[in-house]
Structure 1
């Protein structure tokens, strides 16, 4: 009986020690689980903030895409307007050039008319001189040349009128030629300005084309970025959900470990009681052994 009591005591002590070791290990696991749960909760908070930031970035990217598209549309409209302006300037240039050619021809014809008028004036002058000579000869002829003198006088008057009219026409032709020269110079200057304006507008059109191309690239990249941020936003939401599940699981595990720890501690206390009872039983066995030994003597 003493041997059995001793074995029971030793077994109880070993079991109590083992249970105590297990309880200590579970307590450490519970502490680590609590730390892990806190870390997971912090990670959940951080990932949520990151997810919110990603959503904001996605919204901003969408807005940027819309602005880029509108800017591209406006630039395209500007490019079309400049193209129309270039065409209009080219037509104006052609019209001014044609008008200048017409005015130049008009000036040349005015010169021809001036030459003709000068010829008429010379003829009228010669006619006037001949009429004067005829009048002198008629006066010398006396009564017989009187009728001829009247005709010569009329011819002289007509010649003077023709010469005066030729002078007036020549003056008008001179004014027309002067105005024509000024018009040709003005049209030449206008043509030069139109061509300079056409070049400026054409250069602006080329720059607009480059701007449109760049805006198209920006819009394309913005759409790609928007698509990417949409995917990232969706993935971040999934990550948040997964981490929240992990957090819930960690909390549940921590609760289970706390329950196990409490049960283990209770078992440890029970084993200590058993060990104490075994020690008491062993003591009683020793006392009983000594008492029996007394009866043998």
Structure 2
């Protein structure tokens, strides 16, 4: 039945229904033919046999009635009764004439019955002729006895013969009717067998065509439905259905296989994109392939976005490396400055203690002038050393201020880069939202792209959080830098004052050495100068403590900046690692 599978579904249904209609028409025609035969048989029995038998019985009845009226006329002397009986005789005779006329017309083509009918009509003619020409005239003339001789003689014999012929005709007609009924019964049986055979053939043909249609249409459609359900559940690994037919089911199978292949390619592209391969390309099948165009557009957008993110991440990583290098250098310089400040503070404390000793010794200048000269020389050298160290501290403070200003400028540059990274994160987030919308439009086939869009969105959120953290750290660094600049300026001023005071102290000590002779007279002045020197050294010591605290704050701020730069560097490396997962 290969040819049946290859014809179109319309032809299959047309052929099947044509066969069923033909068989049904055969059943209907057979039934109609049988009914017509039965109807013709019944009509023939009724119109020929039954009507003939009935008319013969009517003739026999009328014959008996006319004989009875004739006997009544012969037996009665009542004139009125005789006239009434005569009218009945004539009426019934006319009825029989009409009945014999109909019988003659009906049976004239019946070779079996017509001769007997002619015989009956001949006997009746003689009977009627004798009645009206002899019996009735004798009765009407008053000779009833002669009429009775005819009535119970010749007429009675003729009446008996007519009855015998009539009964014979009725018997023959009944036999023929029984034969026709038997033939009709046999015809009904034969038609019943034909009807049963054709009905059985129609039933077998219906079962055969139904089974054939199920195998040709229903079974393949069930298989296609099962595979479509498997595809709807995400299983694209269904084997191909062999296409061995050229009807609509074969064309549907081919279209289904093409759809399965296309969806498989879409799923494969989604898996490649989800695994980081953005170089996968899905061709557009037609102008109406909105899914293919959407996936191609999304893939191009992801490639462009990933390329931009890679460039931005490279910039961030390079900048973070430079910032980390500069911050490390600044941290080292600040650490050295802090060490120098500690040493200067220690020296200043020693100078202050020396000034206290000088004050005590000034009260005994007169008694220990020689020792005062030695102390003044020692104080002069110490003051010169303090002045030199103060100058070194001022230079270091100026260097710290310059490096802190450079750090502030680099912090501003980092802020601009962070703003750029934040803008890129916003654009990535917006693109991820658009990709998620497109994936939602694609339904079940866009789940893979939804995962990619969510990953991009998470990456953008991490970038935003990291930039926010870096911005906070930069703000802290800028605040600490501003505080360090103020403290440095204040320390520079204090160092300048310390330098001037050291110079004045040196001059005082030199004056003390030159005027040792006048030590007694200038003792009060030396004591006052020593007191002023002590106060100045305490101020220098206080300023150095402030400088020391500022240096410690600078060290802490620099360490924070260094930690922030290291975090930015690590973030850049993590971003590069994340971006490197996607191949453009």
Q: What is the TM-score with the length of structure 2 in the denominator?
A: 0.25
- The higher-RCO structure (CA 8 Å, 6+ apart) is 1
For normalisation by structure 1, the TM-score amounts to: 0.48
User: In terms of Rg, which structure is larger?
Assistant: 2
More helix, by proportion: 1
